[in-house]
Each structure stands twice: as structure tokens, then as C-alpha cells.
Amino acid sequence: MTETVPRPTLEAVAARAGVSRATVSRVVNGSDGVREPLAERVRQAVDELGYVPNQAARSLVTKRHDAVAVIVAEPETRVFADPFFARQLRGISKELTAHDNQLVLLLTEDRADHVRVGRYLAGGHVDGALVFSLHIDDPLPELIQRAGLPTVFGGRPDFNGGRGGVSYVDSDNRGGARDAVRHLLGLGRRRVAHITGALDQTSAVDRHDGYRDVMADADPRLVARGDFTPASGERAMRELLGRHPGLDAVFAANDLMAAGALRVLREHGRRVPEDVAVVGFDDMLPIAEQTEPPLTTVRQDIEEMGRLMARLLLRDLDHTGTPEETSGARPDGLILPTTLIRRSSA
Amino acid sequence: MTETVPRPTLEAVAARAGVSRATVSRVVNGSDGVREPLAERVRQAVDELGYVPNQAARSLVTKRHDAVAVIVAEPETRVFADPFFARQLRGISKELTAHDNQLVLLLTEDRADHVRVGRYLAGGHVDGALVFSLHIDDPLPELIQRAGLPTVFGGRPDFNGGRGGVSYVDSDNRGGARDAVRHLLGLGRRRVAHITGALDQTSAVDRHDGYRDVMADADPRLVARGDFTPASGERAMRELLGRHPGLDAVFAANDLMAAGALRVLREHGRRVPEDVAVVGFDDMLPIAEQTEPPLTTVRQDIEEMGRLMARLLLRDLDHTGTPEETSGARPDGLILPTTLIRRSSA
DNA sequence: ACCTGATCCGAGAGCGCTCTCCCACCCGCG
DNA sequence: CGCGGGTGGGAGAGCGCTCTCGGATCAGGT
């Protein structure tokens, strides 16, 4: 059926244009040193034959692959329940394709996968890696750094030995949390509670820190621990209501938990926002818009985050010519601003 | 900092083991014809040097890449708002890595991207493609098929000239819809309305067809058109309520629209499920569980779908040796069963 | 007119691997 | 004890490209 037509080679193009392989190569790769009439003839031959360079042959000699790995650690299914992943991927994809790089996706679940990923990276198939490590003490980040590939992390990683020189992109979780709490204070609320996320993730820790920055001397009983799931939001809300019935506001570390909290508040006859104001985090759509009432929340530009990760990495990869600059001048972390989205819940 | 140590080559391993390159190659690729004492010596040399084959050099001669492209067309952002994409990707990823294949992700948005994708596929970087085309009359599928690569589609594609021989994996949208409607009838409902999805997608068409299979002679005014968004669900529900106030059940083509319908029903003082029973489609979490009341819906095993797509493709790719079998015996479509998940809304 | 230098292009090596020969060796048989 | 078939292992070509190097060409200066 589909006859596998042998693809034209550099040689063929050269023959047709009546030049040497070297010249065709020069034209194809856009290097100067080929005068106009000749260059045009080559370009025409390329078009006529529909020539496309063989990437394998090329990287065999250049040692570049124009490909980067995106590694997503997802021991839990939860990662996949939210739409962030896709957004981030899209940001990355856009930036990558704009620079003619391919995106090789590596999804990992367990230790066995880690080994595989390590081998893959060491195997020199890609020029760099973009890594999403969600959990503190995840061995993956270190493992990857040790592979010696240029790497950018999504979300602040937490290395045991903070060696510095780790580049990453993250949202301003702490600042966003501060904004959320200040907004509640601005509404005249004084007993602002907090439902934390899973504290084995830096984002949850940072949001909690942001809350404490503003509510430094608040009653510690105003803080209940959640794990980012809706059920944990409900549980935490009940807990808070039980031990601190007088609370007049809640800042949940994500929208899912905020949605859970909302349900419990309604159950208990508390009106939102009149009796208790609620603020979430993420602006996870369509959830945040669909709660009752619609959720006031902290938005992070997740797609931009992906784009920046890719940009950072690509810039690193271009530094091939200057070995001296490679060691110093590394931009450690890049923090993206967040925006408070005001809906009806606060 | 990270000294780029030159990776050991086949040559180096051969030297260390005291054999020829060919022998090492044989051992590494698991082909027989190397006797045990020698083979062991080679394996040891491989370990000691930490040898990893250079994929570029390998595919240069084998013309295989052990990589498949996953192409996602997403002219609209909507695709990214739902978690399906990620699930499917995970299914694909699992199957692929189990067979030592890489996943190259290609996200497209507009015509320009189509050209790029076409070139990429023609460029022979991957052995096959997995394609998600969401819209009828999307030019991408044809374009990809023309590239001559083995391809499997996610969701029933809609070619103008139904040439057959197109392999795809899809959920049993029609059967699932029938189940949903029959369930409503089983509840004693008689005036069952339907909110369609965007009818430029085969999934929406099929679900609509399923509804009509069961409600063949229903009042056509019981059908309102939506486009899979929550807002369209609300709009459609209002429309239905307006022109057919006596309806006692609604089958929405997805959960997002069902959630919108639920809100409108509440607004109008209709109790769910007492006055109006509601069934959705997708079992999109966490939405489906979080509505009030929790949604009865049709679940599709989205991860399995991804896995099957990959499996189908890989099987196709293995058929390299037998050119005769390639033309015939192609499994056109694979339809996955759906399950009705009973919650409180119906 | 001759030399110098810059510029353009071609020849050829070689990237790391696979795979087809082909030779050497082992065994069993006559 | 020699011969043939079978089998294990090596030699070497070649996949399609890049890139260095050197030769040719051309211009300008003296």
C-alpha cells in the first residue's frame, strides 16, 4: 500500500544542483559563505526533491538532538486530575517548537521508572530536561541533576543539600498567599483561618508561610491541615468550625479544598461571603467558576510558567560556545507573579 | 562544572572485552550467536564502562527510531480544561515505555503548525503517530495519513472520503448514550430531553445518535444544542424548560453541561432527581462528584483508550517483515465499552 | 604583472553503529 | 584421518550528515 519511497539525501540534492554535499549542507543550515546564484540553485533543488535532513545522521556528528525531555513525576493520580499539567505542557511546547526543538515526554510512577529515566537521560537522546517534581524528598531531581544534563525545574525543588545553582521556575506562592490573606483583612475579617495543602510539597509550604507572614500572631488553631483534595478540604473545614466557631474567613491552599470548605460551610448554615469569606488558590477552571458562590482565588499563569521553563533551558543550551560562563551567572530561581481574582466568595 | 565525559562507544567495549565490535553489538541487541563465556565477558565490559548505545548512530542504519509522535490538535483551549488529555497520555506512555519507545509530543494550534507537523512526520523522526483530531473536517488527519506513517486515531475520525483502513480507538459513545437514556426510562421517566455536544465532533454526534436510538419518536423539541461548555449547558437547559416545561429527565452529552443544567434546574425550583433526573457523560472528576447532587454519568476508560491506541500502533510497526499482511487485515476501529456510574442525580 | 589576502567551494574523513559477508573452527561421518 | 556441514566470531562497508582543510578564484595594492 504505502510504498516506502527512499527519501532524498544530501547527495541527491547536491547532484541535482551540480554542487558538492558541503555546499548543500551550508545552504540548508543557513551558514554564510555561499554566493547568491548558487545558493538559490540549491534551494530550488531542495524544494524539487522535497529534501528533509536526516536528523539521526545530523546528531551523530553534531552531538545535538534539538530535543528536550519533559519529565513528570506523578506517583499519585491527583496530578492528572487537574488541568495544570496540560497547560504547562502547552507553554513548553510553544516555546520549544518556536526554537525547533522536540518535546519528549517521560511520565514516571515508581522507582523502576526512575532508573529508566536516568538511563535515558544518560543515553544522550536529549539536550536537556524539564522536570516537575512535586514532592519533597523525591529522589528524582537529584538523580537527574547527576545525569549532568542542563535542567530546569518546575516548582521550587527541595534538595537535601541545597547546592545552589539549580534553576527553576515557580509561582509566587508565598506572595500570592499574602495577597489572599490581606484581601480578607481588607474586607474587615479578623479571624482568618487557613487550610494547608500537602506539606510535603513546597507550594503548600510556601502558601502556608505566606499566610503566616500576614497572620504572624494568629491563634495556631486557625490552621488546619489538608492535602489538596476536596475531601481534605471538607474535613479541615469541619475541624476549624469545631475548634474555632468564631472564624470569619478561610484561605484554602487550593480551589479544590476551597470548594470542599464551601460545602461544609453551607451545611453548617454559614453564608458565604456574609458570615465567612473564602479565598482559594490556583483559579482552577472550571471548578473555581462553578462553585456556589463562585470562588475568589489566586491565579497563577501556568502556561507562562511552562514557557519560561523552556526558555531558560534553551538559553542554557545555547551557552555551548563559552565554557567559562557555564559555571557562573546561573539564574537560580524565577518567580512568577500571581493575581487575585475577585469573584463572590470574598 | 559538569565535565562532559565522552561516552564510551561500542569500540571501547569491544576493546575492553577483547572482541570485535560486531560481537558486542550482537550481545547488546540480544541476538543469539554468541557463546556464553564470551557473552558474559562482553556484558561485564558494558557494565564497567557504563555503555549506552548511541541512538542516533543506531537509527542511522536501522531506520527505526523507537519513537512515536503523539499529535494533539487543540484549536480551542477547551481541550486543556479537562483532564482527559493527561489520562490518555498516561495510558499511551505506559504502553510505549513498556516497549522501549519514546513519546514525542506535538501540540498544534493552527495551520502553520499543521505544516510543521507534516514536515516533521515526513522527516522520518518517528516510526508512527497517534493522533487526536477532535473536529470533523479537520485537515490534519488526512495530512497525516498522507505522510505515509502508520497511524492510529483517538476518537473516530471523520474522513470526507471514507477510505476505510483507518485504525482508531474510541469509546462506545453511542452505546453509552443508549444506556444513559434507558436508565432514565427505567426510572419511569418519559419525557427525556437531550443536550447535545458540539456537533462538529463525532463524539457528540454519536451520543446524540444513541439518544435517538432509544427515543426514536420523541418530540424533537426535547433536544437542545450545546457545545460541551458549562455555559452552553445552562443555555440549553433554559431553552428546554421554556419550550417543554413538562420534561422529567435530561441526558447531557457531557458532565460540564450537566453541571450547568443542574444549576438552572435549581434556579427554577426543580428538584433533582425528584422532579427532573439528570445524567451526564464522561465521569469527569472532580466535577462529577462535586455537583449538587453528585452526578450520575457514563464513564469511559480514558487511560485504557490511550493504552490501546499505543498497542495498536506498536503492533502495526512490528509488521515490518511481512509486506503482504500490511495491506489487508487492518483492524479498523476498536470500541471501548462504557459504564454507567450511578450517583444521586438520576 | 606579481604577490597577498580574502572569499567561496569541494574533497574527504569520520561520527557510532548494524549487518553482510567470509573465514576459522568444531563436530560427526565415511 | 580427511571431508563436509554447521556455527561462532571478525573484517569492513556504509548509513547521511558535518566540518576541517586546502585549493581555486578574484580583487586590490604596489
- Which 8-state DSSP code applies to residue B228? S
> Among residues of chain B, what percentage have pLDDT more than 90?
60
Main-chain dihedrals φ then ψ at residue B11, nearest 5 degrees: -55, -50
> How sure is the predictor about B43, in pLDDT bands with cuts at 50, 70 and 90?
very high
In 3D space, the residue among A113, A120, A121, A106 whose CA is nearest the CA of residue A138 turns out to be A113
Q: Would you give the end-to-end CA distance of chain A in angstroms?
A: 63
pLDDT score at B5: 65
Mean pLDDT lowest for which of A19-33, A81-95, A126-140, B136-150?
Answer: B136-150
**What is the C-alpha to C-alpha distance for residues A174 and B335, in angstroms, rounded to an integer?**
47
User: CB contact, 8 Å: A220 with chain B?
Assistant: no
Q: What is the pLDDT of residues A142-194, one digit of tens each?
A: 778 777 789 999 998 876 544 557 899 999 999 999 999 999 999 999 999 99
Mean pLDDT (whole number) for A4-23:
86
User: CB contact, 8 Å: A97 with chain B?
Assistant: yes
Q: How far is A264 from chain B (nearest CA, A)?
A: 12
In 3D space, the residue among A232, A230, A225, A178 whose CA is nearest the CA of residue A204 turns out to be A225
Q: How far is B321 from chain A (nearest CA, A)?
A: 13
Best of B107, B134, B255, B265 to mutate (most A CBs within 10 Å, chain A): B107
> How sure is the predictor about B7, in pLDDT bands with cuts at 50, 70 and 90?
confident
Q: What is the pLDDT of residues B301-340, one digit of tens each?
A: 999 999 999 999 999 887 554 444 444 445 678 999 999 9
**What is the C-alpha to C-alpha distance for residues A144 and A139, in angstroms, rounded to an integer?**
9
Main-chain dihedrals φ then ψ at residue B150, nearest 5 degrees: -55, 130
Are the CB atoms for B96 and B310 separated by under 8 Å? yes
Q: Would you give the end-to-end CA distance of chain B in angstroms?
A: 63
pLDDT score at A140: 81
**What is the C-alpha to C-alpha distance for residues B49 and A19, in angstroms, rounded to an integer?**
43
> How sure is the predictor about A260, in pLDDT bands with cuts at 50, 70 and 90?
very high
pLDDT: which is higher, B271 or B158: B271
Are the CB atoms for A279 and A345 separated by under 8 Å? yes
**What is the C-alpha to C-alpha distance for residues A12 and B320, in angstroms, rounded to an integer?**
26
Give the nucleotide at minimum CA-to-C1' distance from B22.
Answer: D10
Verify if strand D has an atom below 7 Å from the CB of B287.
no
> Among residues of chain A, what percentage have pLDDT more than 90?
62
**What is the C-alpha to C-alpha distance for residues A59 and A45, in angstroms, rounded to an integer?**
23
Question: Sheet harboring B277-282: ordered strands across?
Answer: B223-225, B192-196, B249-252, B277-282, B296-300, B338-341
Mean pLDDT (whole number) for A12-32:
89
pLDDT score at B161: 47
Q: What is the pLDDT of residues A262-316, one digit of tens each?
A: 999 999 999 999 999 999 999 988 889 889 899 999 999 999 999 999 999 999 8
Note whether B287 contacts A286, CB cutoff 8 Å: yes
| Burial degree of A31 (CB within 10 A; 0-12, 13-18, 19+) | exposed
Mean pLDDT (whole number) for B286-295:
90
**Taking the complete model, does pTM exceed 0.85, yes or no?**
yes
Q: Which residues of B touch A104 (CB under 8 A)?
A: 67, 102-105
> How sure is the predictor about B80, in pLDDT bands with cuts at 50, 70 and 90?
low
Cell readout for B303 is 487511560
Count of beta carbons in the 10 Å neighbourhood of residue B43: 15
In 3D space, the residue among A95, A308, A53, A287 whose CA is nearest the CA of residue B255 turns out to be A287
Mean pLDDT (whole number) for B271-288:
93
> How sure is the predictor about B85, in pLDDT bands with cuts at 50, 70 and 90?
confident
Q: Locate the DSSP E strands across chain A.
A: 67-73, 102-108, 128-132, 151-154, 167-171, 192-196, 223-225, 249-252, 277-282, 296-300, 333-336, 338-341
